[in-house]
Amino acid sequence: MRRLLVAGAVVLAGLTGVAIGQENYPTKPVTVVVPFAAGGPTDTVTRLIAEPMSKTLGQQIVVQNVAGAGGTLAAGQVARAQPDGYTILMHHIGMSTAPTLYKNLPYDPLKDLATIGLVTEVPMTIIARKDFEPGTMEELVQYVKDHKDQVTYANAGIGAASHLCGLLLMKEIGVEVTTVPYQGTGPALTDLVGGQVDFMCDQTTNTTGQIKSGEVKAYAVTTGERLQSLPDLPTAAEAGLPGFEVSVWHGLYAPAGTPEPILEKLSAALKDALKDENVVKRFAELGTAPVSEDLATPAAHTERLTSQIELWRPIIQEAGVSAQ
């Protein structure tokens, strides 16, 4: 009887501890894992929203870059982390392509991770080193066809947005070129500016500055409309690739099993961050915008992830690409 009582007290104390923990959450800094190197788009978006999110949460947000394997290394790490709200993940469209691309993906995006909310949808740009011979998109297509054995395309690994854009582009052009994988857009862009690789396709968040300063050559933006931030840059359709549209959505995740109230607190902090004046202004300068409030929720994010996994599966299968 005594033992039973003691056991009951322990269970009760444990439950109360959990409830109190959720109520007071967060009581220490929250780590947000970025699945690519520092200085790239996912890193930029994360750092921009981290500050206002930490204001709402009343705790510091620490950004940790865990690059590798097209973002799957970090996603696996967060999927296995304690589901207590202190380790979360920022990822992008790659979350929806990895299940088809990776044969031995060590996590299931829909089962092992919980969604917090969508953040932003970023256009991409097709760019090259500044002295790359082709001057227009039409010339680029012809040049790549004529020099397919020499040209090099930089990306941030299999499943990265830059990899997907390259896949679609090569499908359009009808050739395959040598791809050079990096740990993220940060180091890839450094090499493009330095002339070590020929061309790439990446988010405006990290190409706008280099395009405007002339450090890289830009051919087209991958949206249906031109961007206010880069008004002279034609859309891919205007530049001769009708229907070539791709943008990169970003979202926040926590390990599956994270208590609902914690996910709600994180989603609320995200919504606040997306209304923050500096975030709205900087996003606009970088060619993007925060998603509407109804998309910064676990439910809307799960819906997007589910439909995107379905959307990308046949495209990737048809392209015949895969990773280990």
Give contact residues for ligand ASP (rule: CB under 6 A): 36, 40-42, 92, 94, 156, 160-162, 184-186, 202-203
Strands 30-34 and 87-92: parallel
Instruction: State both tokens at 29.
Output: 């800094």
| Least spacing, CB of residue 11 vs ligand ASP, in Å | 44
Q: By C-beta, is 250 or 271 nearer to ligand ASP?
A: 250
Q: By C-beta, is 122 or 262 nearer to ligand ASP?
A: 122
Q: By C-beta, is 137 or 156 nearer to ligand ASP?
A: 156
Q: Which residue's Cβ lies closest to ligand ASP?
A: 40
Q: What count of other Cβ atoms lies within 10 Å of the Cβ of residue 63?
A: 14
Q: What count of other Cβ atoms lies within 10 Å of the Cβ of residue 231?
A: 7
Q: What count of other Cβ atoms lies within 10 Å of the Cβ of residue 8?
A: 10
Instruction: State both tokens at 254.
Output: 């926590």
| Least spacing, CB of residue 6 vs ligand ASP, in Å | 52
- The number of residues making up the chain comes to 324
Angle, helices 161-173/298-319, rounded to nearest 10 degrees = 40
CA distance to 79, 95, 119, 209, 254, per residue, from 301 (Å): 17, 12, 9, 30, 12
| Least spacing, CB of residue 291 vs ligand ASP, in Å | 17
> How far apart are the C-alpha atoms of 181 and 39, rounded to whole Å?
16
Q: By C-beta, is 155 or 297 nearer to ligand ASP?
A: 155
| Least spacing, CB of residue 88 vs ligand ASP, in Å | 17
Q: By C-beta, is 119 or 262 nearer to ligand ASP?
A: 119
| Least spacing, CB of residue 262 vs ligand ASP, in Å | 26
